[in-house]
Amino acid sequence: MPKVKFDREEIINTTFELLKNDGIRGISARNIAKKMKSSTAPIYAHFENIAVLKKEVINMAKDVLVNYLERMYTDRKMLNTAMGVVIFAREQKELYRSIFLIDADFKSIFERAVLKILETSRDDERFEHFDRNETMNIILKIWYYLHGYATLVCTEFIKNPTDEEIKNKILEVATIFISDALDKKLTAIINKNRGEFFCLFFCLKNFL
């Protein structure tokens, strides 16, 4: 019987299935070979080591995440992006763990997600009163919450919330952060112009 040969793409796809089902710790040359019903030889013929292969499938997982971030769950782009993070954690638990809880290159996907949310905030009228730095500060607070919420969903501390529940929770928290930022901005404006207000008050008093 002729020897079965596997190409690079087949090995990557098989490894990605292992990642989705068993997580990053389930990836080994032996497990990949077992799933492919082969020896480990084809794996090392295409990849220098398992670490290189793991990096390939982690990048695939990140592409899946981006797909979730770009889906249309509502008519608000920013809300869609935020919901995508949590829905990804709900539906792709092992991929979420691999990217956000295990992968050493978490910083790159963190920056990618935050910039995606920042980009979509331009179409949200609630941010029209904030400059870029103020908007980024709000988004970082929202992201910190999202990461915690998504992790609780991923680990099933919060079990299978519906899309509607996820949407309402994000809106509730985002409203708190935005309102707090508006209050601080208004207070800063009042404090900055307090002297002018007093001058205006005394001028009006003398005039009357």
- How would DSSP label each residue in 116-182? HHHHHHTT-GGGTTS-HHHHHHHHHHHHHHHHHHHHHHHTTSS----HHHHHHHHHHHHHHHHHHHH
Per-residue confidence band for 204, with pLDDT thresholds at 50, 70 and 90: very low
Mean per-residue pLDDT for 39-59? Answer: 91
How do the domains of the chain map onto residue ranges? 1-47, 62-194
Q: What is the CATH number of domain 1-47?
A: 1.10.10.60
Buried b (16+ CB within 10 A) or exposed e, 100-137: beebeeeeebeeebbebbbebbeebebbeebeeeebbe
Tokens 């908007």 label which residue?
135
| pLDDT one-digit tens code per residue, 63-99 | 999 899 999 999 988 899 999 999 999 999 999 999 8
Structure tokens at 120: 């979509």
The counts of H helices and E strands in the chain are 10, 0
pLDDT at 194: 59
